[in-house]
Structure formats: structure tokens, C-alpha cells
């Protein structure tokens, strides 16, 4: 069974700083997708970034980028120039190609301080 | 542009009561999911459906049943609610193959007393 581990339950950084959220996963699959979702206090789940395992290039979306290390089964999220609106729970998630089952980590609560 | 619609948004049940959480999506997605979210536990998969007519157990299926009524609708039923089922429940849907994101409903906060 696949597992997703987020080792940082909670983090705080000052506004405008850069922060990295860690995620590791365990799978025997070769083809899969990885995601980072953001959940602000509104409870809405919002996709931040997606990475296909077959792509070597790390995904980037504006201030958000990932460091995908397939051999190490690591998928960290870097937020540059952090903003107050980035305050939220962040979930790392894994999806196999073959059955679309999406498994989430326990989340990291991120506080951006003014 | 509704996306994924869950009803109800809030519910209080007494132990032993039954209820059905409804979920509908209008994006023509094949895959649908039910998750529960508890503090410190993240989102845990209860059941999912890869296509109309198929359902499969997730990580925490005990105490729940599901029905994929058609391609649009995926309901979650609690036959005899227990306090341990107090949680926030999310329905989600995605296109097959992970080529697009999973879209989530607004969640249902369920309290069992």
C-alpha cells in the first residue's frame, strides 16, 4: 500500500521569506502523480502544484516549486516570497496511474507571520 | 459552474441514527471519492469509485457504505452512526488518469452525539 509522510506538523515563517515543506512517499509503482493541495481556513481544497513521475523536470507555478527526487521518493514544496494568504494547511498527495486512488499525507499547518 | 456539490453542509446525529451524505459533480468525471478529515490525521480515503457501477474500499471503510448511482452522483451512507464518525467529510472527483486535479466539495461537518 502507498503511504505519504509529512514530517512537519506545523511551521511558521516571516512574510517574504522562503519556506520548504517536506513530503516523502512509499510506493513500488513506477508511474504516478504527486500533488500539493492547500486548505485555507475556508476549508476549501485548492490544488497548488502537480508533478508527473515520468517527468524529470520539477514543476513550477509562480512562487511555488517542487523538488522531486524520484529515487529518494521525496517531493518537497518550496514557497518563495511567502505572503499572508499562504497561511493554510498543506497536504501532499499521491495517485497511482492504474487506479486513480489518491492518498494524502497528514498535512503541514503553515503560518505566515506579518 | 457548480463543480462538486455536497449536501448537507452540517449535520448532528444521535448515536445509532443513519444518514446519507449526497455528492454530485457536473464535470463528467469518471472517478469520485469520499474522504474524512480529522485533526492531525489528514484526509483519509473511505471509498472511491473509478467509474459508474464500481466502488472500492479505501483506508477507513468500516461503518460506511457507498453507492455510485450514476456518473454524476456518489453517496456515502452511515447505517448506525457512532461518535468515532464525528468528522468533516469531503467528496471529490477527478478525470481518469490524474491528468487533471481532483476537485473537492465544500465538506460536511458531521457531529455524532
A80-99 pLDDT, tens digit per residue, is: 999 999 999 999 999 987 77
List, in order, residues 6 or more apart from A33 with CB less than 8 Å away: A50, A51, A52, A53, A94, A95, A97, B98
* Residue B93, pLDDT score: 94
Residue B98 has pLDDT above 70, yes or no: no
Identity of the residue in A6, A102, A106 whose CB atom sits nearest the CB atom of B33: A102
Instruction: Beginning with the edge strand found earlier in the chain, give each strand of the sheet holding B19-25 in spatial order.
Output: B4-7, B19-25, B74-78, B64-68
The candidate with the shortest Cα–Cα distance to A109, out of A88, A93, A92, is: A88
Per-residue pLDDT band at A45 (split at 50, 70, 90)? very high
Per-residue pLDDT band at B99 (split at 50, 70, 90)? low
Partner A, chain B 29-88, Cβ-Cβ below 8 Å:
30-31, 33, 35, 40-45, 48, 50, 56, 58-59, 88
Amino acid at each position: 500500500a502507498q503511504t505519504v509522510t509529512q514530517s512537519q506538523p506545523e511551521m511558521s515563517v516571516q512574510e517574504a521569506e522562503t519556506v520548504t515543506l517536506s513530503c516523502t512517499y512509499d510506493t513500488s509503482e513506477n508511474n504516478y502523480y504527486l500533488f500539493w493541495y492547500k486548505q485555507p481556513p475556508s476549508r476549501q481544497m485548492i490544488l497548488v502544484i502537480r508533478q508527473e513521475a515520468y517527468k524529470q523536470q520539477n514543476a513550477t507555478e509562480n512562487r511555488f516549486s517542487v523538488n522531486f527526487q524520484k529515487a529518494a521518493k521525496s517531493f518537497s514544496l518550496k514557497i518563495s516570497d511567502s505572503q499572508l494568504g499562504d497561511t493554510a494547511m498543506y497536504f501532499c498527495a499521491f495517485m497511482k496511474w492504474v487506479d486513480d486512488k489518491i492518498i494524502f499525507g497528514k498535512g503541514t499547518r503553515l503560518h505566515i507571520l506579518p | 459552474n457548480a463543480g462538486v456539490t455536497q449536501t448537507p453542509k452540517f449535520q448532528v446525529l444521535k448515536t445509532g441514527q443513519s444518514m446519507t451524505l449526497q455528492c454530485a459533480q457536473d464535470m463528467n468525471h469518471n472517478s469520485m471519492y469520499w474522504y474524512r478529515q480529522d485533526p492531525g490525521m489528514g484526509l483519509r480515503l473511505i471509498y472511491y469509485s473509478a467509474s459508474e457501477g464500481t466502488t472500492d474500499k479505501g483506508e477507513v471503510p468500516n461503518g460506511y457504505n457507498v453507492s455510485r448511482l450514476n456518473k454524476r452522483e456518489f453517496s456515502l451512507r452511515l447505517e448506525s452512526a457512532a461518535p468515532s464518525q464525528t468528522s468533516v467529510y469531503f467528496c471529490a472527483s477527478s478525470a481518469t488518469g490524474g491528468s487533471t486535479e481532483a476537485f473537492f466539495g465544500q465538506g460536511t461537518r458531521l457531529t455524532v452525539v
